[in-house]
Amino acid sequence: MPANAAKSPMQKALDRLGLTRDIDRALHLPLRYEDETRITRLADAREGDHIQIEGTVVGCEVSLRPRRQLLVRLDDGSEVCTLRFFSFYPAQQKALAVGARIRARGEVKGGFLGWTMMHPVTRPATGDLPTALTPVYPTVAALPQAYLRKVVASGLSRAELSDTIPAAMAGRAGPQPLWSLRQALQFLHHPTPDVALATLEDHSHPAWQRLKAEELLAQQLSQLQSRRERALLRAPVLQPAHARPQALQWESADAGRGRVAVPSLHERLLSALPFALTAAQQRVVGEIAHDIAQPVPMHRLLQGDVGAGKTVVAALAAAICIEAGAQCALMAPTEILAQQHFGKLVGWLEPLGIQTAWLTGSQKTKQRRLMLALIESGEASLVVGTHAVIQDKVQFKQLALAIIDEQHRFGVAQRLALRQKMVHDDLQGQEPHLLMMTATPIPRTLAMSYYADLEVSTIDELPPGRTPIVTKLVNESRREEVVQRIRGQLALGRQVYWVCPLIEESEALDLTNATETHAQLSAALPGVMVGLLHSRMPQAEKQAVMALFTQGQMAVLVSTTVIEVGVDVPNASLMVIEHAERFGLSQLHQLRGRVGRGAAASACVLLYSTGEAPRLGETARARLKAMQETNDGFEIARRDLEIRGPGEFLGARQSGAAMLRFADLATDTQLLEWARQAAPVLLDQHPALAEKHVARWLGGKAEFLKA
Ligand code: ADP
Ligand code: MG
């Protein structure tokens, strides 16, 4: 069939599920199973059992009362059961004619009129009973279960499934040596009825262990490969001046009395800062400085809780880069954040003679052209902006360090574009160093073993002098008390954030919400400047509002979640989050991190509403409780992992695409450890098997895993 021939809806649905290759189909595992291997006698059945019965149809009629339905009476020799269908086709009615021998599967209910089954699955009682459980696959509407079963079965029989893990490597902690990949898949698609179903459900069955180990190994292999590929690439050596004796400038006037070195840019920045670095900041600056002084591109993830002070670390790295004569780009996920970084970095670096440029999507053409020229000529050594920085038209003279703030907020596609951009911009056969920053840390041990291709730096200490934020849960019905509390803070000269939730799929609703709250607060706080910020406002207006708040004229800022990432106004001491039950845990933590940035005692009020329900849902309650109990981002991350499961955590959050389908990082730590150790062995001793393994498991996805 020519590639461009129109695809049937079923083929399109298969594509959508990613079920194109035989191996992908073989790896499409059941959600659950149905047991069609036995027949239960009605005389032995209990109320509510899901069973399969077999018998002869002794009655078949359409009844019109109380509503139109097909009533079929099935006699299995022990008792009679009535099968009821409210919707049915003529063909079905024919197949269920009196005298037919059929099997029916469903839930039996007892009662006044004897046994009944509502809408059972029926089939003619021909042939032997199956010997394996029947798989039920995850699917979409366009793809009927029966068709999908055939597709998967044929994929399973055609796929090349020879083992890629040598038996000797499958140790006790690793995949069970008794189960080959083929056996494991065969079993998981068609388990024998004697299996303990619980071991299939919780994925503890040896066949599951085998698959999870395979998946983790593929992930580790691909990261290891990309780490090794990177080791072959060249990057500019970026060293602070004092580390390069040949570059030192000497003060000739003092020639007679011992010579004094002019301090490096990095040192001058350090001494110009209004604070001293924390030990953790010094350590991570050291780690970064060490990496970028190597001729190999750095790929480092800098994680640190909100407010830990990552920006200054970025500025110091930039200073080292700039002093070495190269350009540095800093990208932030939102304009507000980019704007703020720009302001801060300009404030720190321009007095030291550094020329900066600013790039965003909403910029006027004329200004943009000017900026592009500065970047291309190399006059601007620091470029700050949104992802506009990685757009096609931007040409750097020599980009040597790219810093991505709040990297998890950028989509996978944007991160891929950045990588490609960096290669594209390479002028001297070199790639820039890459520093990614994030405030939604994953537990360090997990990060280290999972991200085999990243170095991880962790700021595990907050700057001194911060008073911990007190978090209170308050029922929506006590809103007036919260307003009173705001008055208290305003009287002390403090500022207040009030965040309204993002209601998914309805930006319009969001807006009403924020607008209403804004009107309410303005009325309740006469004489106080209450601002409103939401994502639909024109950029210039957003900036104006943000500036008023940053400079302190505006006392209260009502906003949607646009302020979530990184905004820094140290005088703000109270954060109110409305409908806190609708937010995710790490999002709440990020929001809370907007206060407690100065020395003032700060508080976060989580206003929750139970809506119609008498109580909050279980996960919402767990999230709010976690917020109340801890301020520690790593602990929050751990709880988040617990509440949501790491599949979503690492998958959707960290990369924008689910990466682990089978393994669960919270519980499969042993398998992860096994995979981490097995990957280099396989790659070195059996490179062909390693290649086959990655291709089989990741197909076209390997590139994404590196991003
Ligand atoms: P984040 O890690 O969330 O990006 P920021 O870089 O925005 O945090 O820093 C939070 C605040 O702490 C800023 O106002 C910053 O200037 C300040 N800060 C950073 N490092 C220190 C330090 N060592 N001592 C005191 N204040 C600091
Ligand atoms: Mg930040």
Whether the predicted pLDDT of 676 surpasses 50:
yes
**436 strand-pairing partners:** 301, 404
Model confidence at 23, pLDDT cuts 50, 70, 90, reads very high
Whether the predicted pLDDT of 3 surpasses 60:
no
Whether the predicted pLDDT of 643 surpasses 80:
no
Whether the predicted pLDDT of 7 surpasses 70:
yes
26 plus 108 within the same structural domain: no
CA 80 to CA 525: how far, in whole Å?
74
Nearest to 148 by CA among 26, 289, 244, 261: 26
Query: What is the whole-number distance in angstroms between the Cα of residue 424 and the centre of ligand 1?
Result: 34
C-beta of 440 in contact with ligand 1 (< 6 A)? no
With H, G, I as helix, E, B as strand and everything else as coil, classify residue 570: coil
Q: DSSP letter at 261?
A: B
Least confident window among 15-19, 296-300, 579-583, 664-668: 664-668
Domain boundary among 606, 630, 654: 630
pLDDT (average), residues 6-12: 84
Closest-CA residue, ligand 1 atom 18, reads: 309
pLDDT in tens, 120-142: 989 999 888 999 999 988 887 77
Residue 540 Cα distances to 339, 344, 368, 411, 545, angstroms? 11, 19, 15, 25, 9
Whether the predicted pLDDT of 260 surpasses 60:
no
Residue 522 domain-assigned? yes
| More confident of the two residues 564 and 348 | 348
Closest-CA residue, ligand 1 atom 16, reads: 309
Integer-rounded Cα radius of gyration of the chain? 32
pLDDT in tens, 204-256: 899 999 999 999 999 889 888 888 888 888 889 998 655 544 444 444 444 44
Rounded to the nearest integer, the mean pLDDT of the chain is 84
What's the count of helices (H) and strands (E) in the chain, helices before strands?
A: 24, 21
Whether the predicted pLDDT of 644 surpasses 80:
no
Residue 509 domain-assigned? yes
Residue 108 Cα distances to 44, 54, 72, 139, angstroms? 11, 13, 14, 27
Residue-level pLDDT at 444: 61
Peptide bond into 526 cis (omega under 30): no
Least confident window among 13-17, 416-420, 678-682: 416-420
97 plus 155 within the same structural domain: no
CA 492 to CA 598: how far, in whole Å?
14
515 plus 587 within the same structural domain: yes
Residue 637 domain-assigned? no
Residue 57 domain-assigned? yes
Residue 524 Cα distances to 472, 496, 520, 530, 556, angstroms? 22, 14, 6, 10, 12
Residue 245 domain-assigned? no
C-beta of 390 in contact with ligand 1 (< 6 A)? no
| Index of the ligand 1 atom closest to the CA of residue 306 | 3
| Index of the ligand 1 atom closest to the CA of residue 405 | 4
C-beta of 312 in contact with ligand 1 (< 6 A)? yes
How are beta strands 101-109 and 115-118 bridged, if at all? antiparallel
Least confident window among 240-244, 361-365, 426-430, 480-484: 240-244
Buried b (16+ CB within 10 A) or exposed e, 156-172: beebebebbbeeebbee
622 plus 564 within the same structural domain: yes
Model confidence at 587, pLDDT cuts 50, 70, 90, reads confident
Whether the predicted pLDDT of 604 surpasses 60:
yes
Residue 423 domain-assigned? no
Whether the predicted pLDDT of 703 surpasses 50:
no
143 plus 60 within the same structural domain: no
Query: What is the whole-number distance in angstroms between the Cα of residue 501 and the centre of ligand 2?
Result: 21
C-beta of 596 in contact with ligand 1 (< 6 A)? no
Least confident window among 257-261, 584-588, 639-643: 257-261
Residue-level pLDDT at 485: 95
Residue 491 domain-assigned? yes
**Share above pLDDT 90 across residues of the chain, in percent, rounded to a whole number:** 44
Q: Which one of the ligands is nearest to 466 CA? A: 1
Whether the predicted pLDDT of 383 surpasses 90:
yes
pLDDT (average), residues 460-464: 88
Number of domains in the chain: 3
Q: DSSP letter at 649?
A: I
* Those residues with Cβ within 8 angstroms of residue 572's Cβ, 6 or more apart along the chain or in another chain: 494, 495, 496, 497, 594, 595, 597, 602
Pocket test for ligand 1, best of 550, 589, 597, 631 (most atoms within 8 A of CB): 597
Residue-level pLDDT at 375: 93
Least confident window among 341-345, 410-414, 668-672: 410-414
Residue-level pLDDT at 259: 47
Whether the predicted pLDDT of 316 surpasses 90:
yes
25 plus 49 within the same structural domain: no
pLDDT (average), residues 55-71: 92
Residue-level pLDDT at 248: 41
Domain around 149? 1-30+137-160
* CB of 513 closer than 8 Å to CB of 535: no
597 plus 559 within the same structural domain: yes
CATH of the domain at 516: 3.40.50.300
| More confident of the two residues 520 and 641 | 520
Q: Where are the beta strands (DSSP E) in 443-516?
A: 455-459, 470-475, 495-499
88 plus 150 within the same structural domain: no
Residue 428 burial (CB count, 10 A): 7
Please state whether the predicted TM-score (pTM) of the whole model is above 0.75: no
Residue 8 Cα distances to 15, 28, 147, 150, angstroms? 11, 20, 13, 16
145 plus 115 within the same structural domain: no
Whether the predicted pLDDT of 523 surpasses 60:
yes
Residue-level pLDDT at 254: 45
Pocket test for ligand 1, best of 458, 563, 568, 589 (most atoms within 8 A of CB): 568
Domain boundary among 584, 603, 630: 630
Whether the predicted pLDDT of 301 surpasses 80:
yes
CATH of the domain at 101: 2.40.50.140
Query: What is the whole-number distance in angstroms between the Cα of residue 463 and the centre of ligand 1?
Result: 7
CA 395 to CA 369: how far, in whole Å?
12
pLDDT in tens, 475-513: 989 999 999 999 999 999 999 999 988 654 455 555 567
pLDDT (average), residues 81-87: 92
5 plus 43 within the same structural domain: no
* Those residues with Cβ within 8 angstroms of residue 595's Cβ, 6 or more apart along the chain or in another chain: 469, 497, 572, 573, 574, 575, 602, 603, 604
47 plus 26 within the same structural domain: no
Residue 3 domain-assigned? yes
Whether the predicted pLDDT of 653 surpasses 70:
no
CA 168 to CA 159: how far, in whole Å?
24
Domain boundary among 74, 96, 124: 124
Pocket test for ligand 1, best of 277, 311, 348, 407 (most atoms within 8 A of CB): 311
Q: DSSP letter at 561?
A: G
21 plus 42 within the same structural domain: no
Query: What is the whole-number distance in angstroms between the Cα of residue 306 and the centre of ligand 2?
Result: 7
Residue-level pLDDT at 277: 96
Closest-CA residue, ligand 1 atom 20, reads: 309
CA 700 to CA 411: how far, in whole Å?
18
pLDDT (average), residues 384-391: 85
Residue-level pLDDT at 414: 66
